[in-house]
Amino acid sequence: MATAVVWNPACRHHYGGAGHPERPQRFEAVLEALRRPELATRLTWVEAPPAARSAIERVHPPEYVDMLDALAARGGGALDADTFLGPRSWESVLASAGVARAAGARGQTEGSAFAITRPPGHHALAARAMGFCFLNNVVLAARHAQALGCARALVVDWDVHHGNGTQALVERDPSIRFVSMHQYPWYPGTGTTDERGVGNVFNVPRPGGLPRATYFRDFLAGVDAALDGWNPDILLISAGFDSLAGDPLGEFTLEPDDISRWTAALRERMGKRPVVGVLEGGYRLDLLAAGVVAHVLALS
Ligand SMILES: [Zn+2]
């Protein structure tokens, strides 16, 4: 079956300032890569609406959403040292949240889906934007999937940075398990092995520069620890491509082929159960494009 590629053109608008690595060209690079004619029969394109306020409030408190909304109405501004709301960024944030939620639903009907989310989401805490992230897209997708009947959700995160926001949002909820492999010590500084939540958090911190086979093996070992005696109804992947060799924001050594093999290994573990990729980081455009294509082609 074809993989649903879920998107919204407003994800292009977010602009974090001159020289910011999380730039609109990332969105264009992903679209261009997935629109190649030879992929046409493998993908079903789905344009998702922006997330409604009520949907966002399943994950983020109303006061926080009010604050972002008011900042956007004033033309934007800084939320932390590297997280800026530009004049049209709020449109992208809401579109990105809607895209993630729709992918969580499409995965259930079509078996697999990929969300072209921009800005990314895995650093966003319940009431705090950080690390280029405003709303936590993958948790919004997981909560929506749960509301539609997937009781247990596994979230895995191979972005080179720890998914601290995702961890914080799920670490007291045994219905979601979270596996993150990330460079450590590195931004944002969290993600040690002793952060276990209620036994539902599985961190795999690793230094940069190790052989790619080590990262490949250790991430899947973390996934298998999470799956030991526990069967999720859906798998969501925080798919960050800054873990590829050559990305300017990370020092991991993975190649697009590793992304392809990871995705296939996760698909194999899930059988017919839904697998949904949600875009996170990835800051060298050619690597981002290659990683996304490798991931999406192995999803179904
Ligand atoms: Zn990252």
153, 152, 118: which is closest to 137 by C-alpha? Answer: 118
Confidence (pLDDT) at 35:
98
Confidence (pLDDT) at 10:
98
Q: What is the mean pLDDT of residues 76-104?
A: 97
Q: What is the mean pLDDT of residues 23-47?
A: 98
Give me 295's structure tokens: 């991931």
Residue 282 has pLDDT above 90, yes or no: yes
Q: Where are the alpha helices (DSSP H) in 111-186?
A: 137-147, 164-170
Q: How confident is the model at residue 99 (pLDDT cuts 50, 70, 90)?
A: very high
CA of 224 to the centre of ligand 1 (A): 23
CA of 99 to the centre of ligand 1 (A): 19
261, 299, 259: which is closest to 282 by C-alpha? Answer: 259
Confidence (pLDDT) at 245:
98
Place of tokens 């460079």: 183
| Cα dihedral: 209, 296, 33, 97 (round 10) | -90
At residue 127, the 3 state secondary structure works out as coil
Rounded to the nearest angstrom, the gap between the alpha carbon of residue 6 and the centroid of all alpha carbons in its chain is: 13
Angle between helices 137-147 and 89-110 (to 10 degrees): 40
DSSP 8-state code for residue 244: B
Rounded to the nearest angstrom, the gap between the alpha carbon of residue 38 and the centroid of all alpha carbons in its chain is: 25
Taking only the tens place, the pLDDT of each residue in 120-174 is 999 999 999 999 999 999 999 999 999 999 999 999 999 999 999 999 999 999 9
CA of 281 to the centre of ligand 1 (A): 4
Confidence (pLDDT) at 274:
98
Place of tokens 């990929």: 114
Taking only the tens place, the pLDDT of each residue in 220-261 is 999 999 999 999 999 999 999 999 999 999 999 999 999 999
Q: Which residues contact residue 250 at a Cβ distance below 8 angstroms, ignoring those fewer than 6 apart?
A: 160, 161, 183, 186, 208, 242, 243, 244
CA of 30 to the centre of ligand 1 (A): 16
- Beta-sheet pairing, 234-239 with 201-206: unpaired
CA of 240 to the centre of ligand 1 (A): 6
What is the enclosing helix (H) or strand (E) of 45? strand 43-47
Taking only the tens place, the pLDDT of each residue in 176-201 is 999 999 999 999 999 999 999 999 99
At residue 274, the 3 state secondary structure works out as coil
Q: How confident is the model at residue 286 (pLDDT cuts 50, 70, 90)?
A: very high
Q: What is the mean pLDDT of residues 278-289?
A: 98
Confidence (pLDDT) at 201:
99
Confidence (pLDDT) at 67:
98
Q: What percent of the chain has pLDDT over 70?
A: 100
Catalytic residues: 123
Q: How confident is the model at residue 1 (pLDDT cuts 50, 70, 90)?
A: confident
Confidence (pLDDT) at 73:
97
